[in-house]
Structure 1
């Protein structure tokens, strides 16, 4: 408006020559308003730049129809995929998403994230954890606001859900052993990453269960560059027969490793087998041949959103859920049997 103040419902009613109730009914597309009147009200709304009050709508509905998601490192491909699944699951229930990015360089605190998110007009909160918050065990959810934590670990006061990273990594080793491999190396994720630590633990425990002494882990950081560095280190191991298979903790490192091995004159799967994790490369690699662990982010998102907005899900008594991953077999594993 000319005076700089936002237009009100009274301003729209005055310009359109109708009652405030008619404006409200038009905003909600009520059939009780004649089409010609609706058009007149909509022209007034457009001219004044009127926006309906979220607070007023929330008061009528008893909810804001919005959910908060707090997560860090959104630029990572796996997190982008997760975020898309949450947006889709929320939209399926008629909700929108408010996003809070948690600084990955600062100490992670659920309490601080909750304080920031609870000031927004939202009906529930989801915390997506890539690392352990300093207050994970002591965190108390905000009264009257349902909350879900995306974590492999059970929480005493808040529902939790995630992929079963450790069991999935064990399945990778089982699969490779079934195909005749015993010299299986691992490129790990960052040491503070919950998924990276769980995948390394699953690889190590499965190796020991098969009576195989695990070789030294090669540390990565999720990037293809760290995978390339790992592949450079592994080239001589492959040539000597000390490495017949590599389990990389994500697809980016797997492809980096494959590039380094190729530059060293070695091929996958001819000279060494390769398995990645997250199964994201098929989205941008033509004729993708990498066998990879696939995690059902859609199921995780639907479970978490359901816990926040569907009454029967909120009261079903299931407060910790781990979804199994599964191997998508392509062409990067050689059978040595």
Structure 2
């Protein structure tokens, strides 16, 4: 006849380690008020007995779970993966665990629907990685008992936001082109419903307008190298094109291959700059000038902002942007 295994209690650990239950509680809660040798004995006893802290009881006692939900729509996107890595690393360092919640963007969810998924979970707050502008972005009011941070470019007066500095990305790229004598600069965009692309495109247009330069038709891509390749073929047949600003590195690499397939030299005939610096570990002898985005820092800022809101519920709403870094390689030439 089988019997249900007895749950190991804090008192069992205390008896095995030769300490008080209060000492076990302190070790379990990460307190520094325990001598290292005593802590080692308690941890050894926990391991040998298979003790697992009761997180629900701990949450009731401390008033929080030390857990954050991360809501996202595309876990395969390079930026999301690197941001998530930053989130999980910093959360672990600060004593928080992460609960991952995937939503289907094809269903066009709202922020309210996204938060509905997590408000009954054992979490203290949520980070939303928002690549697209949702219909209730300006009207959504987060639950009063949950700290919310949205990773997106557009600020909100109702919840904290953090993102790469999209305006700085475009202004830096365009000024580098201008400094190298380029005036006929074309833009290869990401999807039209992408928030990041929208701001990069606006930055490109504003830079051209400041120089009183004609703005060529935008070539719409979809973040893939294949769409960049098609754009490169088109731009190779555009007589006045001397430079291309592609909204990400995948498309920039595709543009270069398309230009070369059509008989154009890069950078001798046409210069190219991308965004994100995501190909340096996958493309040998990469010679693409790009804006490196610090996704890990964005994730770190999102976690710190969320924890600050958990611990200080009445703190002011913030909007934090992380500037990228121009990485100069060999795909731009002065004219």
Cα deviation digits, residues 219-268 of structure 1 (max 9, x gap): 1000111111111212222xx3x111111000000111111222223221
> Who is 1:296 aligned against?
294
Instruction: Tell me the CA shift for residue 23 of structure 1.
Output: 10
Question: How do 1:269-308 and structure 2 match up within 5 A?
Answer: 269-308=267-306
> Who is 2:332 aligned against?
333
Mapped to 2, the partners of 1:35 and 1:202 lie a distance apart of: 56
> Who is 1:101 aligned against?
102
8 Å Cα contact 2:169-2:324 kept in structure 1:
yes
8 Å Cα contact 1:9-1:23 kept in structure 2:
no
After TM superposition, the structure 1 stretch with the greater mean CA deviation from structure 2, 146-155 or 282-291, is 282-291
Mapped to 1, the partners of 2:43 and 2:171 lie a distance apart of: 62
Question: How do 1:1-337 and structure 2 match up within 5 A?
Answer: 2-3=2-3, 7=7, 9=9, 21=21, 24=24, 28=28, 42-45=47-50, 51-237=52-238, 240=239, 242-310=240-308, 317=316, 319-336=318-335
* Closer/same/farther in 2, CA of residues 204 and 52 from structure 1, 3 Å limit: same
Question: 2:254 is paired with a residue of what secondary structure?
Answer: helix
Question: 1:282 is paired with a residue of what secondary structure?
Answer: coil
Q: How many residues align?
A: 329
* Closer/same/farther in 2, CA of residues 226 and 10 from structure 1, 3 Å limit: same
After TM superposition, the structure 1 stretch with the greater mean CA deviation from structure 2, 122-131 or 62-71, is 62-71
Instruction: Tell me the CA shift for residue 104 of structure 1.
Output: 1.6
8 Å Cα contact 1:111-1:135 kept in structure 2:
yes
Question: 1:322 is paired with a residue of what secondary structure?
Answer: strand
After TM superposition, the structure 1 stretch with the greater mean CA deviation from structure 2, 31-40 or 195-204, is 31-40
Question: 2:56 is paired with a residue of what secondary structure?
Answer: helix
Task: Extract unaligned runs of 5+ from structure 2.
Answer: none
TM-score (norm 1): 0.86
Task: Extract unaligned runs of 5+ from structure 1.
Answer: none
Instruction: Tell me the CA shift for residue 216 of structure 1.
Output: 0.9
TM-score (norm 2): 0.86
